[in-house]
A and B are shown apart, each in its own frame.
Chain A
Amino acid sequence: MSGLAFEQPAGGFVFDNCRRNEILLNNGALPGKIHKTGTTIAAVTYKDGVVIAADSRCTAGNIIFDDNVLKIHRLSDNIYALGAGTSADCDFQTRLLESQLELLKLNQDRQVRVATAVRKIQQHLFRYQGYLGAYLIIVGVDVTGSHIATVHPHGSIAFLPFVASGSGGYTSLSVIEDRFKENMTEDEAKQLIRDALYASTTTDLYSGSKINMFVLTKEKLDKFLPYEIVAVRTDKQADYTLAKGTTEVLSTNVKKIEFDIVNEKVKSTTGSNEAMELA
């Protein structure tokens, strides 16, 4: 038995579920509604590392399904992935890759490289011939420097100094392309990415709400969640609470409910869950 614990995929293509899906459709089962991310994601290299940003809107058809999605996935301490395309595919493939990279890191006793992550996901996606709709941007800083790579569902990759992807990708790309310089400062890079995402969240219907940004260098990882809220829901313009007595009370019935205290437990209330923001 080899000492390597990560999965060795069986040779050839795996299309087991295609026949099953066909049979299900023929028997009248409804096809699942695809929740797409309809996204803008962008990444830019600068002097010390990379700046990456994503919007936070998830659409299902023409409805905003979730306004507060984090499209930045951790692959390793020094490698992150941005996902556009089908939500589930992005989430699960990056999670799978994350666990594989963790095992690799423990086995080889070294920091994982971006090229490794890209090669692994590329080979995995190619086996599924584009059926996994994951348009990923893999970014990271390792011993060889800082890298950004795009990965397409069919398995093609490109290493680029800057990239923008998703439905709002075109718009962001033109902003970045116009002002990109090699070796920018951190503030310049953050401003550039912010402008790029702002242009596409205001233009593209399927991107919006918030701009989440990470700054990744050899030493640090700065998280700005969110960096900017683009569409702020304003306060309600009037008080819509109804006065007591609006609904006529016809009768009142008071009953006593018998109960026994079975168990008592005391819990501290610090660290409460924050309510989901629907900005």
Chain B
Amino acid sequence: MASTFNPFEANYDTINDKDDFNIGNSNKNYTIDPLETEAERNIRTRTVTPVVTGSSVTAFIFNGGVILAADVLGSYGSLAKYRNLPRIHQVNDRTILALGGDLSDADYIKEAIDAKIEEDLVQEDGSEMTPLALYAWCTRLMYYRRTQFNPLLTSVVVAGIENNEPFLGRINDKGSAFKEFLIMTGIANHLAQGWIRTILENSNELNKDQAERLMDRIVKQLFYRDCRAFARYRVCIVTKDGVEFKAKEVQPDWSLAPTLRNTE
């Protein structure tokens, strides 16, 4: 097997936390119960709270494709620690994966998917991962982890071209998944979802340039109001012709600042 990813393998350190009393039999082919391990070894192996987090991901479908945007910041609580972590990943020519929330769990998901893609490549039969297939697989993965009380505290956004139609879907940390023409994760849900939904519902299909300009406006609004946002961000546009990434920086307008007062 070319893949090194096995979701049923133990995720704790099997080298340093050695099994001195030979409790973990090598003939075992079932999952090690996390609770049992924690109780015996007094260590915590599951993510309880997110540590390094990515802010929101915004995405919507326009006429001919999908556009996504996510900034490149990894926050360590309220510290803007890792300032060049792109969160939108290209899976193949027509599938894009964007991740928000806990970034270590995001890396885990990305590596699992990369291993799967390598497996497919090795078969050399021309079959490719489609967005819908990836979306379904991610749902299963997230829900499985949720049932084990060891969730992946990430929001996954899958976008791409499926059967010549734009596809956009999202899975949250509970394994709850849906497909929509507009996806916002994180605080963008509150800040931008209502606003953009009324714009997109009332307008006819946007073309690529209009979509890009609307996305710039959205990211600027989030930068104004989200404490964990960052000025540098990546935009990804998927169309039938392929995938395009752009690196941009928010140009905020602070001209109203002198008119604000919070005292008399």
Contacts and interface: CB of A to CB of B under 8 A. Distances in A.
Given A119-B264, A159-B261, A171-B193, A199 B198 contact: yes
A168 B221 CA distance: 16
Dominant SS at the B interface?
helix
A158 interface: yes
Interface stretch (A6-14, A173-181, A232-240): A173-181
B29 interface: no
A152 B196 CA distance: 28
Contact of B191 (A118, A171, A202, A204): A171
User: Per DSSP, are chain A's interface residues mostly helix, strand or loop, or mixed?
Assistant: helix
A168 B193 CA distance: 11
Given A159-B260, A159-B261, A173 B225 contact: yes
B116 to A, nearest CB: 36
Interface in A136-182: 156-161, 168, 170-171, 173-175, 177-178, 180, 182
Given A177-B221, A177-B225, A203 B194 contact: yes
A180 B255 CA distance: 12
B194 A158 contact: no
A115 B217 CA distance: 34
A94 interface: no
A168 to B, nearest CB: 8
Contacts of A76: none
Interface residues of A, number: 26
A161 B258 CA distance: 11
Interface in B102-160: none
B190 A171 contact: yes
Contacts of A182: 256, 259
Contacts of B260: 158-161
Contacts of B198: 175, 195, 198-199, 202
B221 A178 contact: yes
B191 A174 contact: yes
A55 to B, nearest CB: 13
Contacts of A173: 191, 225
B206 to A, nearest CB: 16
B221 to A, nearest CB: 5
A78 interface: no
A175 B262 contact: no
Find the residue from A160, A174, A175, A198 having the highest chain B CB count within 10 A: A174
A198 B256 CA distance: 25
A204 B225 CA distance: 18
Interface of B: 190-195, 197-198, 217, 221, 224-225, 256, 259-264
Closest 5 CB pairs of A and B: A203-B194, A171-B194, A158-B262, A170-B190, A199-B194
